[in-house]
Structures are given as structure tokens and as C-alpha cells.
Structure 1
Amino acid sequence: MSGSEPSQHGELAEAKAPSLDDFAALGHAALASLPEAFRTLVGTVEIRVDDFPTREVLDDLGIESEFDLLGLFHGVGLAHAEAIAGTGALPNRVWLYRRPILDYWAEHDETLGAIVTHVLVHEIGHHFGLSDDDMEAIEEAAD
């Protein structure tokens, strides 16, 4: 290969993997694009990003490979929020795991934004007992 790359590939040659901050921005944009009723379901939610889940999380879930978990919801539903109000409980959080999501993205024909939205909806949705059909409708209704 010569010292210069073809101009049509210039952008790819300069591209870098999205950072943790980039992923946080994708997560916030995905959340903002979801129907208001869904956002209300979870209330205030923090989006956290890390490269991988901790070994403790993987062990608790019985998952061997750190690449097998794309995200995780941690918190309580609105129905239970009053019972713990004032107890110092942490806010609802969704963890997005950057490296497993990037690995998934590399193997599938979906945009990174669509994958992040999917992970976000499914982590929140499973926690609140929504069906896969409900979650699919929410994803389709995203802006």
C-alpha cells in the first residue's frame, strides 16, 4: 500500500472508536428520542458508561464473558419509589458497556445509535416487565 490512502476512504482512515463520553451522549440522545410515556415510566435515570461490566456484575448474573452483557438497569420502578423515598437510595441507572456494544456493532448491520437505543429500551423495559412486543413498539416510536 502506498503512503497515501484513496480520498474516498479518508474519513474512515481518520475515524476513531467512540469514547465513553461519546457513548454517554448517544445514550442521552436515545433516551430523549423515546416516547414520553416510556421516559415517565422510569422517571429520572442516569446513563452511565463503562468499557465492561465488573466481574461482580457478571458473576451475579451468571455470565462468563464480559462481551455478553451490553447493558444493565439498576434501580427501582415508580411503583416502589415511594416505599424507598428518603432512604438514601441511589437513582435509577442504566449502564451501557462500550466494548461489548462496539463488538456487537462490528458483527451486525445496524447503526450504533440504533443499537444503543435498543439496549437502553430493553434494559429499562425488562426491569419494568414490558414484553418484547411492547419494547419493539417503543423503539419504532422513537424520534
Structure 2
Amino acid sequence: MKNSVSQWESSLPPDHSAFEEIVMHAIEGLPVQFRQQAAAVALQVADFAPDTFLEELDLENPFDLTGLYTGIPMTEKSVMDQPMEPDTIWLFRRPILDEWVARGDIELGVLVAHVFIHELAHHFGWSDADIATIAPWQD
């Protein structure tokens, strides 16, 4: 029988592809009325936020940003809007993994789903109360 240390010797964190699978599973877990709309928002998974995002948000540490929504929220869209880029949810793998390890009390898939839903909330214009009805969360 392996001891608890040796069981992790060959374990690696999910790579980009495996992380995207975790995100897809989170999307599939959404209530049906939101799943199709969520699929219409572009998804980008990156190890870290691009420097331009960090600068815009006045963040120095790239580990401080786990996700970001870029676009115009549905509650603010107008037929007059001419989007320059598609609405996009960005998930940053390394900061999410870092938070997961630091917390040590939650499954990775649950954390990924939480970050995704939080960013999706920006797209829909949801309040924190709205988010809680879709994905209850305790900090």
C-alpha cells in the first residue's frame, strides 16, 4: 500500500486541455435555461491574465485574478452597440489552481464552476443574490 506522500509523486495539476474539460463540465452542470446562453459566450482559458488586463484593473500580482468577463453585459446592450470583440469569459488556470491549493477545502471542479458562474453573472447582469440562486457559495 502506498503512503499518502507517494500517491502524489506522479500526480500533476491539470494541464490546459484537462482544465478546459473541467470548465466544460461546469457549463454542462448549469441549469438548462442558462446553459445555451452560456455556450454563446466565448471562453478563453489562459495560464495568467494578459498584462493589459492586470494594468486595466490596477493589479500587480497575476495570481490575484482568477477570471474576467470582457464585453457588454446583456442588461446594458443596445441595438446601437457595435461590439469590437465577442463577449468572452476568461479563466486563469494558475491563479485558480493556486486558490484551490490554498483553500484545501473544495474540489477543483466546484471552484472552477464558481469562477465561471461569477464571470457569467457579469454577462447576464446578475446580482450576488441572483448568483446564489444558481450556485450557492460560501467564502
Q: TM-score, structure 2 length as denominator?
A: 0.82
* CA RMSD between the two structures: 2.2
Residues 5-39 of structure 1: per-residue CA shift (max 9 Å, x gap):
x5244542211111111111111111111112223
Measured at CA, do residues 57 and 88 of structure 1 come closer, stay the same or move farther in structure 2, by a change above 3 Å? closer
> Does 1:17 find its partner at 2:19?
no
Give the partner amino acid of 2:113.
T
Give the partner amino acid of 2:10.
E
| Whole-angstrom distance in 2 between the partners of 1:100 and 1:139 | 21
Higher helix share: 1
Q: How far is 1:48 from its partner?
A: 1.3
Give 5+ residue unaligned stretches, structure 2. none
Moved over 6 A (4+): none
Structure 1 or 2, whichever has the larger Rg, is: 1
SS in 1 for 2:96: helix
> Does 1:7 find its partner at 2:2?
yes
Give the share of equivalent positions with the same residue, in percent. 35
Give the partner amino acid of 2:129.
D
CA contact (8 A) 2:73 2:125 kept: no
Residues 48-99 of structure 1: per-residue CA shift (max 9 Å, x gap):
1111001110110111210000011122344627444xx5743322111011
CA contact (8 A) 2:74 2:124 kept: no
Q: How far is 1:135 from its partner?
A: 0.7
Count of aligned residue pairs for this structure pair: 133
Q: Residue 104 of structure 1 aligns with which residue?
A: 99
Q: TM-score, structure 1 length as denominator?
A: 0.80
> Does 1:125 find its partner at 2:115?
no
| Whole-angstrom distance in 2 between the partners of 1:32 and 1:89 | 28
CA contact (8 A) 1:45 1:92 kept: yes
Give 5+ residue unaligned stretches, structure 1. 1-5
